[in-house]
Amino acid sequence: MKLSTWFGCSSWLPQYNREWLASDLVAAVVVTIMLIPQSLAYALLAGLPAEVGLYASMAPLLAYAVFGSSRAMAVGPVAVASLMSAVAAGQFAQGDVALFYQASVVLALIGGAVLIVLGILRAGFVANLLSHPVVGGFVSASALLIAVGQLGSLVGVSAKGETFYQTVIALFNNFSSINATTAAIGVLALVWLWAARKWGKQVLKQIGLKGLALEIVFRAAPVVAIVLSIVAVSVLELNSVRTVGTIPTDLPQLFFPSMELNGWIDLFVPAVLIALVGFVETVSVGHALAAKRKQRIDPNQELLGLGAANIASGVFGGYSVTGGFSRSVVNFDAGAQTPMAGVFTAGGILLATLFLTPLLTNLPHATLAATIIIAVLGLIDWHLPGMLWRYSKRDFAAYLLTVVVVLLAGVEAGIIAGVVFSVLALLAAISKPHMAVVGQVPGTEHFRNEKRHKVSMVDGVVSVRVDESLYFPNARWLEDALLEVAASKPGTKALVLQCNAINHIDASALESLEKIDENLHAMGVTLYLSEVKGPVQDQLASSHWYKSIQSRIGLTHLETVRLAKQNE
Amino acid sequence: MKLSTWFGCSSWLPQYNREWLASDLVAAVVVTIMLIPQSLAYALLAGLPAEVGLYASMAPLLAYAVFGSSRAMAVGPVAVASLMSAVAAGQFAQGDVALFYQASVVLALIGGAVLIVLGILRAGFVANLLSHPVVGGFVSASALLIAVGQLGSLVGVSAKGETFYQTVIALFNNFSSINATTAAIGVLALVWLWAARKWGKQVLKQIGLKGLALEIVFRAAPVVAIVLSIVAVSVLELNSVRTVGTIPTDLPQLFFPSMELNGWIDLFVPAVLIALVGFVETVSVGHALAAKRKQRIDPNQELLGLGAANIASGVFGGYSVTGGFSRSVVNFDAGAQTPMAGVFTAGGILLATLFLTPLLTNLPHATLAATIIIAVLGLIDWHLPGMLWRYSKRDFAAYLLTVVVVLLAGVEAGIIAGVVFSVLALLAAISKPHMAVVGQVPGTEHFRNEKRHKVSMVDGVVSVRVDESLYFPNARWLEDALLEVAASKPGTKALVLQCNAINHIDASALESLEKIDENLHAMGVTLYLSEVKGPVQDQLASSHWYKSIQSRIGLTHLETVRLAKQNE
């Protein structure tokens, strides 16, 4: 690894020019407007003071700019990671507020370190264990969990539960104590945001706005809700409405975790899950945006970039960050050319922290709850379950299991259940490959499945094709299957295994082939192999058994069948 | 499932005849002689009173005879399962002797129930997760652990440790308190058993013995050691030697576990591991013996048989049983035709329990330790590590990890580490399949890897072949890889993916193909598929995306390349 490959910015910083500067500045303005309410809202969702969301929206953007590989990525707090962080820190701190904050920061630090290590080892493939149905189910169920969890804040009652069920029950039980003023603000904000998202662009176009101006005004809809609700609370002196309160205007400080080693160990697994889920979203966004400009991202470089961003977040007292989907798309559409746009966005957030936060004291929680609800409902892919049901029942089962476990037992249990199920289901599929007894298609040199084609068989010679690499999950199946075929066809003298679909034979399968050879021999049947691929044959050559089977391996299947017949 | 398929005995009992009866009776005599010292020794290895080994050698044989499918299988206590049972029960009971016994029996009951459930669900494939290197490493390391663990009993010092290291240390620390008389008996027995195994058959043949008589005398070597050491202790009044003591001559009683639900839950995972390891050994023996007589065993029927045997063992106060390798081979060689031989063996053990046990009071532990050491050293496959090293570094790593973790952290940790490593390594291999840019071999219709063959390319059309099914572990790799190829060849207008080695496309891979299609399109490149297998195309047809790609799927690769060139 060359030094320059550690720094993603080496690919664009040397060519940085005035044209890019202008584009990046404009994009930064749009993203800053979008990011201010989001940082505050997601920090509350993560169970943290609002300013922590701002801290997580400065240093991480600088770190990503240095190490990341995607040009238009916008990192920062996102909904799902905030929920996961809240759950993990809550379970760890058991009600201790100071410890909760420590845990939230440590989650970012561990997650960042893990991502960097994976990046250095070029081991990003572990994120592949999060299959599409599992991620889809997880995000949809988490979004539902988040939306329901925010209903309490929206209408001014306390309704916190670790699971979906508990939250719904708490909501019902406390229904009578709704704060009407809060509810009015919350519902109005919700309707406004929903209408703005649905009709906003249309209306703005009719007014005559277009291009960048349209984009900025459209993205400012949450800002409008925030300003109006602050004004309402301040002017009407709505003291019963729960607000954000005083936000310190301090710059982010260096954070020194005072947690013992055992704490770090306890937080390891949730930190890894948060980091991997974030990585999957980041890479997915990165690929989509890069392709639009015929660029490429390097997933291992993304591990370094996102890892550095999380470390930077933690070092300055922020919490877990991710490359957000909608935010990055906005950044891209607004014209961001390089991660310098992120640097400028961080500057915008810094200015907001210094000068705007005093104005936010009267910002109602209900307004932020409305922005969260609208944001997360957009994350749910309503078509996915139907599509999975039609395409593959196994994938549908993985989706359903993940959704149900997330709702009943929480986010961590859900994602673990989904991954374990997917892996076991994959191993089960590999463990029972498709196998066919094949015969010669008359007049050709081709051998095809006897069940699908009219084929001719050679007396005493059975031909079998296996459509899967031979790995330990199917090694013993192979023993069962081949001995079964030989035993079911009396008079068999030779069995020829056509290996054209076998890309690997691992040590377990080698052992099984040896046993099959031996057991077939005991039954008076000789084993032959045909069409063994080059790399597979090279590996087989390093085994003892190869010496005894070598003379029974044929280049084409037809040749091998003829050889078997001759030797009978 | 028909009722008759539940009972393995339905395949032989109706045809049972006098000839089989004679053969089975003779085999039973040989196996009984072999089984008596083994049952006593393995019970001590499992940390249980000697008579529990006898209990585990009666009812299980009857249950296996009714439900099992292998004709010459001999079930009963074996070394590795005894060690695993001792470790699990020891960790659970924490020194409470009564609880230890309860736990040992409950392990058999749970293990039996799990095997039966797997058999009914026809889910024997889960045992496939125990790859050959993991089982090989596990058995070798366990054998070493057992042998070292028995050294204390062999020389009359106390030396118990949970790990290899602890046991060796304890042995050294207590070295000065060796009991010389015990050590003399132990070492003599060890030398005798070792010499008998090495030269016994040779010497007996020179004396003129052959056939069955030779087999019986040869198998009686441990009995000779036992008789001689009992005589020595009794006649010379060697009171300092630790002996088996009084063994009750009661028949096995029905056992009613008095354990709470939490206990059963705590013992679940070790019970499953013991049962699966036993199942793997049983199936492996069963296949080998069946093939010699051109018979077949059904692995799912073996699950029922071994499950029933374990339940029967537990119900009558015995512990975990397995189809033993050497014991079954002896049973087979001695001529056993059906599991009725096992029924007769159980009768033999019953007679021994009633009439021989009073004679065993003065049997020294050292003699039994010697029989265990000789038996387990035969389990170690000394050639395996070298063979794995040459054949596949990944499989060697799985082997080494299992051995090291078994020795350092114990049997359960070792097997779990091995399985997790194998699964992750397999997923890693699947996640980075072999991929080749292919070109046309001039003068043919074949397309081959451009790196290995002289091939001709079509301007603006890139052909790529992926040698693996598309599953979630490689779905995102596919996105990276195809976009990389397209980006690295400027002027590319079309990318044709040759799908002849793709046996499956799961929902994650489908999603990735859609994204690839979309992202390639954004880059100005059109995606084509060629040679999609029938079942894969059928499944694709149920997706939305199929409608848009349908016209870009070609039957042969050459056709598809021509189509792509036309459409340019």
pLDDT value at B188 more than 70:
yes
Which pair of structure tokens corresponds to residue A103?
A: 């845990």
Q: Is B94 exposed, middle or buried (0-12, 13-18, 19+ CB in 10 A)?
A: exposed
Residue of B nearest to A538 (CA): B391
| Cα B258 to Cα B99: distance, rounded to the nearest angstrom | 9
The string of pLDDT tens digits covering residues A263-297 is 899 999 999 999 998 998 888 788 778 777 777 77
pLDDT for position A2? 56
pLDDT single digits (tens) A377-393? 888 889 999 999 999 99
Question: What residues of B are in contact with residue A434 (Cβ under 8 Å)?
Answer: 503, 535
Judging contacts by C-beta atoms under 8 Å, the chain A residues touching residue B453 are: none
* Residue from B14, B24, B557, B390 nearest A541 by CA: B390
pLDDT digits over A430-482, tens only?
Answer: 888 889 899 998 888 778 888 878 888 888 999 999 988 899 999 888 988 99
Tell me whether residues B434 and A474 touch, CB distance under 8 A. Answer: no
> In the numeric block, which tokens belong to residue A553?
């391996």
Name every residue whose Cβ is closer than 8 Å to that of residue B512 and which is 6 or more positions away in sequence.
A132, B470, B475, B476, B478, B479
Q: Between these two residues, A375 and B81, which has the higher pLDDT value?
A: B81
For the ranges A286-300, A409-423, A516-530, B381-395, the lowest mean pLDDT is seen at A286-300
What secondary structure letter does DSSP report for A544? S
Is the CB of A487 less than 8 angstroms away from the CB of B294? yes
Q: Is B333 part of the contact surface with chain A (CB cutoff 8 Å)?
A: no
If one counts every other C-beta atom within 10 angstroms of the C-beta of residue A153, the result is 26
Pick the residue from chain B with its C-alpha nearest to A545.
B387
pLDDT in tens, A29-58: 888 888 888 899 899 989 999 899 999 999
The reply to whether residue A522 touches residue B476, judged by beta carbons under 8 angstroms, is no
Amino acid at residue number B339? P
A269–chain B Cβ distance below 8 A for any pair: no
Q: Residues 419-448, chain A: which have Cβ within 8 Å of B? A: 422-423, 426-429, 431-434
**Within an 8 Å CB–CB cutoff, is residue B131 touching chain A?**
yes
Q: Do B543 and A387 touch (CB under 8 A)?
A: yes
pLDDT at residue B2, as a whole number = 57
Give the minimum alpha-carbon distance from B398 to chain A in angstroms, rounded to a whole number: 11
Whether B3 has a pLDDT exceeding 60, the answer reads no
Residue B519 to residue A336: CA distance in whole angstroms: 19
The overall average pLDDT reported for chain A is 88
CA distance A500 to chain B (A): 9
Q: Which of residues 471-510 of A touch B (CB under 8 A)?
A: 471-477, 479-480, 483-484, 487, 501, 503-504, 506-508, 510
Contacts of A433 in chain B (CB under 8 A): 503
A481-504: pLDDT as tens digits: 998 899 888 889 999 999 988 888
Alpha carbon of A300: minimum distance to chain B alpha carbons (Å): 11
Nearest CA in chain A to B130: A472
First to last CA, chain A: 57
| Angle made by CA atoms A295, A297, A301, in degrees to the nearest 5 | 150
- Mean pLDDT along residues B271-279: 92
Distance from CA of A459 to the nearest CA of B (A): 19
Q: How do residues B476-495 score in pLDDT, each as one tens digit? A: 889 889 988 998 888 899 99
| Residue from B138, B139, B287, B394 whose CB has the most chain A CBs within 10 Å, to mutate | B287
> How distant is the alpha carbon of residue A316 from its chain centre?
26
Taking CB atoms and an 8 Å cut-off, how many pairs form between chains A and B?
Answer: 188
Residue with more model confidence, B445 or B232: B232
Q: ipTM strictly over 0.85?
A: no
Contact list, B507 vs chain A (CB under 8 Å): 131-133, 387-388, 391-392, 395
A168 to chain B nearest CA, in Å? 31
Q: Going by C-beta distance under 8 Å and a sequence separation of 6 or more, which residues neighbour residue A46?
A: A52, A53, A77, A82, A83, A85, A86, A89, A104, A319, A320
B395:A506 CB<8 A: yes
Report the gap between the CA of A365 and the closest CA in chain B (Å): 38
pLDDT, position A162: 67
Is pTM beyond 0.90? Reply is no
Which tens digits make up the pLDDT trace of B204-223? 899 888 877 887 888 888 88
- Mean per-residue pLDDT over chain B, rounded: 88
pLDDT tens-digit readout, B364-416: 989 988 988 988 888 888 999 999 999 999 999 999 999 999 998 888 888 89
- Whether the CB of A522 is below 8 Å from some CB of chain B: the reply is yes
pLDDT at res. A3: 56
- Beta B461-466 vs B435-440: how paired, if at all? antiparallel
Q: Within a 10 A sphere around the Cβ of B249, how many other Cβ atoms?
A: 12
DSSP A400-441: HHHHHHHHHH-HHHHHHHHHHHHHHHHHHHHHS--EEEEEEP
Q: How confident is the model at residue A514 (pLDDT cuts 50, 70, 90)?
A: very high
Looking at residue B326, its pLDDT comes to 81
Task: Tell whether the model's pLDDT for residue A158 goes beyond 80.
Answer: no
Q: How confident is the model at residue A131 (pLDDT cuts 50, 70, 90)?
A: confident
The rounded distance, in Å, linking the Cα atoms of B182 and B158 is 12
Q: What is the mean pLDDT of residues B235-257?
A: 84
Position B497 confidence tier, pLDDT thresholds 50, 70, 90:
very high
> Which position has the higher pLDDT, B533 or B58?
B58
Most confident of A87-96, A152-161, A222-231, B307-316: B307-316
In 3D space, the residue among A537, A512, A525, A522 whose CA is nearest the CA of residue A564 turns out to be A525
Find residues 525-544 of chain B whose CB sits inside 8 Å of chain A. Answer: 535, 539, 542-544
Where residue B77 falls among pLDDT bands split at 50, 70, 90?
very high
The answer, yes or no, to whether residue B162 has pLDDT greater than 80, is no
For residue range B333-371, what is the model confidence (pLDDT) as tens digits? Answer: 888 889 999 999 999 999 988 888 888 888 898 998 898
Query: What H or E segment, with its residue span, contains residue B528?
Result: strand B526-530
| B496 DSSP assignment | E
Q: What is the pLDDT of residue A4?
A: 60
Supply the pLDDT for residue A200.
Answer: 87
Q: Which pLDDT band, with edges at 50, 70 and 90, does B254 fall under?
A: confident
Amino acid at B457: M
- Distance (Å) of CA A561 to CA A460, A498, A516, A537, B194: 10, 10, 18, 19, 48
pLDDT of residue A355 exceeding 80, the answer is yes
- 3-class secondary structure, A131: coil
d(CA A485, CA A462): 8
Please provide the DSSP assignment of A483-538 as one string: HHHHHHSTT--EEEEE-TT---B-HHHHHHHHHHHHHHHHTT-EEEEES--HHHHH
Cross-chain residue pair A476–B510, CB shorter than 8 Å: no
- Strands, sheet with A526-530, edge to edge from the N-terminal-most edge strand: A447-449, A435-440, A461-466, A494-498, A526-530, A553-554
Tens digit of each residue's pLDDT (9 = 90 or more) over A223-268? 899 899 999 999 988 888 888 888 887 788 888 888 888 889 999 9
**Residues 6 or more apart whose Cβ sits within 8 Å of residue A492:** A460, A461, A462, A486, A525
Interface membership of A358 toward B (CB under 8 Å):
no
pLDDT average, residue stretch A334-357: 90
pLDDT in tens, B4-49: 677 888 888 888 888 888 889 988 988 888 888 889 989 998 999 9
Chain A nearest-CA distance from B275, in A, is: 17
Residue B4: what pLDDT?
61
Q: Which residues in chain A have their CB less than 8 angstroms from residue B390's CB?
A: 542-543
Going by C-beta distance under 8 Å and a sequence separation of 6 or more, which residues neighbour residue B248?
A: B51, B357
